[in-house]
Structure 1
Amino acid sequence: MRSHLLNETTADLYRRSVTEGVDRVAAKLATTERPHTGISVDELAPVIASIDLDTPLADTAAALDELEGVYLRDAVYFHHPRYLGHLNCPVVIPAVVGEAVLSAVNSSLDTWDQSIGGTLIERRLIEWTARRIGLGEGADGIFTSGGSQSNFHALLLARDEACRIVMKRSLDRGVELTKAELLPKLRIFTSEASHFSVQKSAAMLGLGYEAVISVPVDRNRRMDTSVLALELENLAAEGLFPMAVVATAGTTDFGSIDPLPEIARLASEHSAWMHVDAAYGCGLLVSPTRRHLLDGIEHADSVTVDYHKSFFQPVSSSAMLVRDRDTLKHATYHADYLNPRRMAEERIPNQVDKSIQTTRRFDALKLWMTLRVMGADGLGSLFDEVIDLAAAGYEVIEADPRFEVVVRPQISTLVFRYVPTEGEYRADLLDEAQLHARKALFASGEAVVAGTKVDGRQYLKFTLLNPQTTTSDIAAVLDLLAAHAEQFLGESLAVHR
């Protein structure tokens, strides 16, 4: 079916087909009244399972008609002001234009001969981001699929750097230490509120989950550096080595930013790699008013940024940056068919030399288009708006006797819990009330909120990344949650009478 291949003979069909798809999405965006329909898995799964994928439809219009019933109608729409769930942002139009261009041209960012222009645009954006962070002239990095991959990549480099340094020091003392002998002795320090990808990365890197030492947090849910200092001191006595300290600039649950300057000092004193997971908080890099919240990040050896969170980019768009570009060589492998060593000698810029992926989309184009249309201040002002909203939302919840809020937000998440204004209830029943309220709200389609555990108890969470959301939306969702929780508790008491 050559008539469907995108080339010079099908340019008009491409234009018509994409326009049809864009029109459908635009119509849906313009008429969406709820974040989603509330449809269940049991309702939708049989519909999709019944579709005969071996029998094609007549044309794009027919396929879009079918798509309406299996996806577009029931999708979760992050642009809706009452989507308050996970770290999903509404996207900016210039980035969506970039998405359309990169998908059609389909450059692969692994080698220069597949991505002329694209390679240089990505490198320019890495340079721009590194300068915003303050990593210095020797910095470099690579775009990735997301924060988990960025964290994994950074810890891979940290592992191999730790092995190189410790093995050299041992050899200088006349002791030959192999990498296999060293790996079980490496340890990673991170706060108990950090992202799970730190533990997962340790396991994938052959270190095991037990290689990660979880550091308690203070009352503001930031890493307790006094405990970190003690843990680092104790390590040497046990014959172990500090591979890395992972600080978080914007924890998933609380948006808290670890004390970066103090962590940098401790990591330096103990010759540990400092990685900053700023997947969420990276939007502060372009904030016209709050860049100071990231002070200390410039001391990091590596940094994770997720543009598809607080830069309002479509998934996927992330990057991992390093202070010393030479450390990226730990992920380099020269394949004769793709990037032979002679290309590096000829200074041909193959991005696969520093990536753990081979084929990669030109995701950098989305950020490029955004900056060229909106500018850094324009993006940063959007992130400032949601931080302001979170501050106002905190006051709304704090003033509502039906809820208790855990901590004043640093960025744009609010963790809170429904508490009955009358009567006393078992702690486990109150936990069930939080879970029920969230589930019932999602099933209604009226709003979407997240949930988490704090000190072993169930809590609810607003993740605010939409500048269109208002305090009125927050108040309305609180009313819905309270109603669902109250109904659950009332029915539970009636059952047990």
Structure 2
Amino acid sequence: PTAMERARFSRPAFAAPYAADLAASALNASMDSWDQAPAASELEAAVTRTLAAEVYPHGPDPDALVTTGGTESNQLGLLLARERHGSVQVVCGAGAHHSVHRAAWLLGLPEPVTVPSGVLDPAALDEALTDLSGPLLVVATAGTTDTGRIDPLPEIADLCERHGAELHIDAAYGGPLLFSAERRGKLAGLDRAHSVTLDLHKLGWQPVAAGLLAVPDRAHLAPLGHTADYLNADDDTEAGLPDLLGRSLRTTRRPDILKIAVTLRALGRTGLGALVDRTCATARLLADLIEKTPRLELYERPTLSTV
């Protein structure tokens, strides 16, 4: 490795998110309102817009919300779809995260239609969408929890356009492939979703919580708009300061964006991409060793880091 690479993978760089997490706890700022956490609010706005632009490089006005993880992000994705249409029928694959079914239950939506396959099979999905009526929301997965499989996102996006269905992609696990020049092609089609779940506590090496929900246009977040007199002072609103209650389902929340920002500053795209590549390459090496060991059986070749 070069001197720069050694610096990227130095112990201080790896310790950065944990030091930032400690600082966030010590400062104890609450993201209820801008005046309680002005610096953290500005930092959150900058970092979420930057990360959303990675997901939606051609989006009209990309933005992202900070969440507690994939479960909350998926719930928000379904909530926004429901608010656009009044109700939606969710369609997902058998490998979808359990939070998709839980979110449908919490939001009073019909039980999701599950397409039984290891990855979301386009032919089976086409048949399911043909048989269904009303507003439809397809949930695809980029990195299933058990095996790390990635659904065929471009084909699924094509089917959604053909059937007039919306698309939410749960990329909680696989999303950080965006940092890798070598592997980001595996996420082709991600930018065609109406919303995308990310969770950087997986391949982003963050302490929990480090979830995000990205959308191509911040106008899509309007249904979450909410104010309270004791948190949203008129002079702050008139000055154009953000009403943070419209940025989360939570009221009191920590400035979790600080550790993500510090990691991005310490490692950069190159450092994070190299970590993703090294981890995935190690998974492939382990799979090779398993295949060469008679007493072991490989379930399947790794897509991400799961063996």
TM-score relative to the length of structure 1: 0.57
Match of 1:105 among 20, 27, 34: 27
Asked whether the 8 Å contact 1:235–1:241 carries over to 2, the reply is no
Q: Is the 8 A contact 1:334 1:341 kept in 2?
A: no
The residue aligned with 1:149 is 72
The residue number in structure 1 matching 2:105 is 203
* Structure 2 Cα separation of the partners of residues 235 and 310 of structure 1: 36
Deviations 1:408-456 (CA, angstroms, capped at 9, x unpaired): 1111112xxxxxxxxxxxxxxxxxxxxxxxxxxxxxxxxxxxxxxxxxx
Amino acid in structure 1 at the alignment position of 2:47? L
Q: Superposition pairs for residues 306-345 of structure 1, below 5 Å?
A: 306-339=199-232, 344=237
SS of residue matched to 1:405:
coil
Counterpart Cα distance in 1 of 2:157 and 2:205: 29
Contact kept in structure 2, 1:142 and 1:351, CA below 8 Å: no
**Cα distance between partner residues in 2 of 1:137 and 1:101:** 35
1:204-251 Cα deviation digits (max 9, x unpaired):
00125x2x011132xxx3210111111111113xxx431x11111100
Aligned residues: 294
- Is the partner of 2:91 in helix, strand or coil? strand
Judge conservation of contact 2:33–2:232 (CA < 8 Å) in 1.
Answer: yes
1:241 aligns with one of 135, 145, 150:
135
| Aligned counterpart, 1:158 | 81
Distance in 1, matches of 2:190 and 2:234, equals 34
Instruction: Find the counterpart in structure 1 of residue 4 from structure 2.
Output: none
**Deviation of residue 320 (structure 1)?**
0.7
Q: Tell me how far 1:403 sits from its aligned partner.
A: 2.9
Is the aligned partner of 1:403 residue 2:296?
Answer: yes
Distance 1:318 1:404 in 2: 34
Q: Identity of counterpart residues, as a percentage?
A: 40
Aligned-pair distance for 1:117? Answer: 1.3
SS in 2 for 1:285: helix
Q: Which runs of 5+ in 2 are unaligned?
A: 1-12
SS in 2 for 1:141: strand
Conserved 8 A contact 2:173-2:202: yes
Q: Following the alignment from structure 2 to structure 1, what is the Cα–Cα distance between the partners of residues 85 and 235? A: 29
Unaligned stretches of 5+ residues in structure 1 = 1-90, 164-182, 415-497
Q: 2:18 aligns with which of 54, 75, 96?
A: 96
Matches within 5 A, 1:6-45: none
2:37 aligned residue: 115
Measured at CA, do residues 343 and 215 of structure 1 come closer, stay the same or move farther in structure 2, by a change above 3 Å? farther
* 1:237-284 CA-partner distances (Å, limit 9, x unpaired): xxx431x11111100011111111111122222232211111101120
Mapped contact 2:28–2:254 kept (Cα < 8 A): yes
Aligned partner letter, 1:124: A
Aligned to 2:178: 285
Structure of higher CA gyration radius: 1
Name 1:369's counterpart in structure 2: 262
CA drift at 1:344? 4.5
Amino acid at match of 1:254: T
2:10 corresponds in structure 1 to none
Q: Which amino acid aligns with 2:276?
A: F
CA contact (8 A) 2:177 2:276 kept: yes
Rate the CA distance shift 1:96–1:265 in 2: closer, same or farther, 3 A: same
Give how far 1:351 is off.
Answer: 2.2
Aligned to 1:72: none
Cα distance, 1:341 vs. partner? 7.5
- 1:354 equivalenced with 2:234 (yes/no): no
| Structure 1 residue 314, shift from structure 2 partner | 0.8
Q: What is the CA distance between 1:288 and its match in structure 2?
A: 3.2
Counterpart secondary structure, 1:118? helix
1:158-177 matches, cutoff 5 A: 158-163=81-86
CA distance in 2 between partners of 1:384 and 1:292 (Å): 13
Look up the match of 1:226.
123
Question: For the Cα contact (< 8 Å) 2:227–2:243, is it kept in 1?
Answer: no
Q: Which amino acid counterpart does residue 249 of structure 1 have in structure 2?
A: A
Amino acid at match of 1:116: P
CA 1:137–1:92 in 2, change beyond 3 Å: closer, same or farther? Answer: farther
Aligned pair in 2 of structure 1 residues 156, 344: CA closer, same or farther (>3 Å)?
farther
Residue 340 of structure 1, CA deviation = 6.2
The one-letter amino acid of 1:304's match is T
Query: Is the CA contact 2:94–2:114 (under 8 Å) kept in the aligned structure 1?
Result: yes
